[in-house]
């Protein structure tokens, strides 16, 4: 029997737009099993949709199940798992109706009429820009002067700007000089048409971003650190769409974010609403930065004009978009071609570029890797690219890095499938000349041993510290760290457990190097996902007995020394990087440690040595650490009696 359902959702238009993906995929994966109708905000988004059945007539309404669908729980859950906002509607539906519907495609679903698809509102080629946002979420808005600077830079390259956005109460979009201003002059269908005929969209986290994804258009998103990239970004590095849809985008976005760069967005987004107090809202940005015309969050201030311009130009240089040719409008215009150097002196001022021309004025008001040498290193991550913001080799040749890393990998037991995944992704993402590889093994199975032999035959060299029995983790770690016949000679050493997988970001090592370079001078010497551990009294005594103990007071949960401090701040034992000199100075790991407890004790050893830990890949967005269930020994923790 066909199940009739009306999905109700009355939040912002962008949220409703994302819901369209679920309706599409119910029809695609369960044909004939459901009849779906909707009762939502922004109903214009559903026009021409072939997957809807009218269930709201008086005759049929009584047979339909009204379901108020929501993604609200996802805002909490995405702090602990990689899931995209779009996927959470599926989870809500599946829970209600005991189904297992998954995203078939990683973007929303909209449908244009023939006229909308074939007759543009604006002549010529252009990018759509949204330069502001809404007063209820001012923490999402980038500096207006920087949007203006981006528009000026792009117009000097022959790229025209059409400014869009709402003008209803609470909406604010600073004027962009030289752009065709359609703010307040487009309804939802006009906006769909405008984006469909554009080269791309430049915006913050807003409906236009989801619309660009639905229409498979380029989009440069100025995100900052308010929301985690995996919750919002339409990029192929995002596993949050599920196994079938993830990684299948034909036109991935450039999502500029700062997750992991500030303590307020170290592991995930801060979800603050306002930059400065406004009304009774107490959800205020931790680090507001006062500018000439407006105050912006520090995370947004870290995103430069160069980052945005470079991201736009990447679409042309990667041939995702045709090369820029003559600007077309109703007025004769000079020809301009793409310049190869974005930051060279321009032979004409931005004001000389002509604006696009409105062809069909909307009726009435709406009812409802080319490196950038000037870009600061490490302040931004462009998730949609596997290249870093500075030249790859220059990053590794920086004096702090010294040309390469030592990478130590520990493998245990009869887990050959896991070992192969770990090794394959490591070899695929780390060029041999950038690491000295050391592999320690305990009770390693024959199949994995054979695979190591195969790797060696390919010419990939490594030092193998083999133990036929289980010598335990930290004694083998000391063997690799303090091998007098083969001393570590690199400035930094990386640790991998065999459950670490490099399948999240092809350039994870480059990003780790940039993070180290940016923070080394501030006494950060260890990098990885940060946790805390409660110290017991016996463990405190055990620490005080160590040669590496320097009488530094134990810390509280915020990481500050405190008389009653009982916390250790440390990195997960599955993946981390540490300065080799600090490792030796702090005698890491403690010689008394066997298999358990070494991870948090390393954190205390580093702290007692006067060094700090910096968060890196805390939510597995760069390196997928602890990717498999725990196995092996389970000893008493260090210092327990």
How far CA 65 is from CA of 5, 34, 60, in Å, comes to 5, 11, 11
Same domain, 92 and 153: no
Q: What is the pLDDT of residue 636?
A: 56
Same domain, 151 and 213: yes
How far CA 437 is from CA of 59, 116, 468, 533, 598, in Å, comes to 71, 57, 20, 30, 22
Segment 98-114, tens digit of pLDDT: 999 999 999 999 999 99
Is it the case that residue 339 has pLDDT exceeding 90? no
Q: What is the CATH number of the domain that holds 464?
A: 3.90.550.10
Same domain, 246 and 325: yes
Segment 419-450, tens digit of pLDDT: 999 999 998 888 888 999 999 999 999 999 99
543 part of a folded domain: no
Angle at 434 (CA atoms; ends 429, 437), nearest 5 degrees: 85
Mean pLDDT of 491-518: 92
Q: How does residue 641 score in pLDDT terms, banded at 50, 70 and 90? A: very low
Mean pLDDT of 135-142: 87
Q: Kind and range of the H or E element at 512?
A: helix 508-519
Same domain, 404 and 467: yes
Segment 356-399, tens digit of pLDDT: 666 544 443 332 222 222 333 333 333 333 333 344 557 888 99
Q: How does residue 351 score in pLDDT terms, banded at 50, 70 and 90? A: very low
Running DSSP on this structure, what letter comes out for residue 442? E
Read off the pTM: 0.56
Segment 300-316, tens digit of pLDDT: 999 999 999 999 999 99
Same domain, 472 and 600: yes
What angle do the packed helices 207-214 and 13-29 form, to 10 degrees? 30
Domain range enclosing 138: 114-257+304-352
Q: How does residue 640 score in pLDDT terms, banded at 50, 70 and 90? A: very low
Is it the case that residue 355 has pLDDT exceeding 60? no
Same domain, 447 and 506: yes
Angle at 105 (CA atoms; ends 104, 108), nearest 5 degrees: 120
Q: What is the CATH number of the domain that holds 182?
A: 3.40.50.2000
Q: What is the pLDDT of residue 251?
A: 95
Q: What is the pLDDT of residue 458?
A: 80
Same domain, 62 and 146: no
**Ramachandran bin of 630, using left for φ above 0, alpha for ψ from -120 to 50, beta for the remaining angles:** beta
How many percent of the chain have pLDDT more than 70? 87
Q: What is the pLDDT of residue 359?
A: 59
Q: Check residues 1 and 22 and name the one with the higher pLDDT.
A: 22
Calculated CA dihedral for residues 448, 453, 455, 459, nearest 10 degrees = 170
Domain count of the fold of the chain: 3
Is it the case that residue 40 has pLDDT exceeding 90? yes
Tell me the three state secondary structure of residue 200.
Answer: strand
Same domain, 199 and 311: yes
Segment 573-610, tens digit of pLDDT: 999 999 999 999 999 999 999 877 788 899 999 999 99
Can you read off the two tokens belonging to residue 124? 């010529």
Same domain, 170 and 308: yes
Segment 46-104, tens digit of pLDDT: 999 999 999 977 556 678 899 999 998 888 888 888 999 999 999 999 999 999 999 99
Can you read off the two tokens belonging to residue 31? 């044909």
Q: What is the pLDDT of residue 280?
A: 83
Is it the case that residue 24 has pLDDT exceeding 90? yes
Mean pLDDT of 254-267: 92
């Amino acid at each position: 029997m066909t199940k009739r359902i009306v999905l109700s959702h009355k939040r912002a238009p962008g949220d409703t737009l994302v819901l369209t993906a679920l309706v599409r995929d119910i029809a695609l994966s369960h044909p004939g099993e459901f009849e779906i109708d909707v009762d939502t905000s922004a109903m214009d988004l559903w026009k021409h949709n072939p997957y809807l059945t009218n269930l709201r007539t008086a005759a049929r309404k009584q047979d339909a199940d009204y379901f108020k669908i929501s993604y609200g729980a996802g805002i909490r859950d995405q702090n602990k798992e990689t899931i995209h906002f779009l996927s959470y509607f599926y989870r809500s539906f599946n829970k209600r109706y005991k189904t297992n519907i998954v995203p078939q495609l990683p973007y929303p679903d909209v449908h244009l009429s023939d006229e909308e698809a074939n007759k543009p509102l604006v002549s010529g080629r252009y990018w759509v820009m949204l330069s502001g946002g809404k007063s209820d979420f001012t923490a999402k808005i980038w500096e207006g002067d920087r949007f203006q600077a981006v528009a000026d830079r792009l117009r000097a390259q022959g790229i025209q700007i059409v400014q869009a956005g709402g003008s209803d109460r609470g909406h604010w979009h600073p004027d962009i000089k030289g752009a065709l201003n359609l703010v307040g002059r487009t309804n939802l269908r006009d906006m769909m048409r405008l984006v469909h005929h554009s080269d791309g969209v430049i915006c913050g986290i807003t409906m236009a971003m989801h619309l660009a994804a639905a229409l498979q258009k380029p989009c440069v998103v100025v995100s900052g650190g308010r929301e985690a990239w995996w919750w919002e970004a339409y990029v192929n590095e995002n596993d949050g769409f599920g196994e079938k849809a993830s990684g299948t985008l034909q036109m991935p976005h450039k999502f500029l974010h700062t997750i992991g760069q500030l303590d307020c967005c170290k592991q995930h987004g801060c979800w603050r609403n306002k930059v400065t107090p406004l009304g009774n809202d107490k959800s205020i940005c931790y680090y507001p930065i006062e500018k000439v015309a407006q105050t912006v969050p520090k995370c947004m201030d870290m995103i430069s004009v160069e980052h945005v311009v470079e991201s736009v130009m990447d679409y042309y240089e990667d041939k995702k978009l045709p090369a820029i040719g003559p600007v077309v409008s109703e007025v004769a215009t000079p020809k301009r071609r793409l310049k190869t150097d974005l930051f060279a002196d321009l032979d004409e001022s931005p004001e000389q570029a002509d604006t696009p021309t409105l062809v069909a004025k909307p009726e009435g008001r709406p009812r409802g890797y080319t490196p950038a040498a000037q870009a600061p290193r490490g302040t931004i991550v462009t998730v949609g690219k596997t290249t870093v913001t500075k030249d790859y080799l220059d990053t590794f040749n920086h004096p702090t890095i010294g040309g390469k890393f030592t990478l130590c990998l520990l493998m245990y037991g009869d887990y050959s499938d896991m070992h192969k995944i770990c090794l394959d992704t490591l070899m695929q993402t780390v060029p041999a000349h950038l690491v000295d590889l050391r592999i320690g093994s305990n009770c390693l199975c024959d199949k994995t041993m054979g695979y190591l032999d195969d790797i060696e035959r390919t010419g990939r060299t490594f030092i193998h510290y083999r133990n036929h029995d289980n010598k335990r983790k930290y004694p083998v770690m000391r063997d690799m760290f303090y091998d007098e016949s083969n001393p570590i000679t690199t400035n930094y050493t990386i640790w991998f457990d065999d459950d670490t997988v490099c399948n999240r970001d092809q350039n994870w090592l480059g990003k780790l190097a940039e993070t180290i370079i940016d923070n080394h001078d501030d006494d950060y010497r260890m990098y990885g996902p940060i946790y805390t551990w409660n110290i017991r009294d016996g463990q405190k005594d055990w620490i005080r007995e160590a040669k590496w103990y320097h009488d530094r007071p134990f810390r509280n949960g915020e990481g500050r020394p405190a008389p009653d401090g009982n916390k250790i701040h440390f990195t997960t034992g599955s993946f981390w990087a540490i300065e080799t000199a600090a490792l030796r100075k702090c005698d890491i790991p403690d010689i008394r440690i066997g298999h358990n407890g070494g991870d948090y004790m390393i954190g205390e050893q580093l702290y007692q040595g006067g060094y700090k830990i910096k968060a890196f890949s805390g939510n597995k967005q760069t390196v997928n650490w602890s990717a498999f269930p725990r196995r092996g020994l389970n000893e008493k923790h260090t210092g327990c009696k």
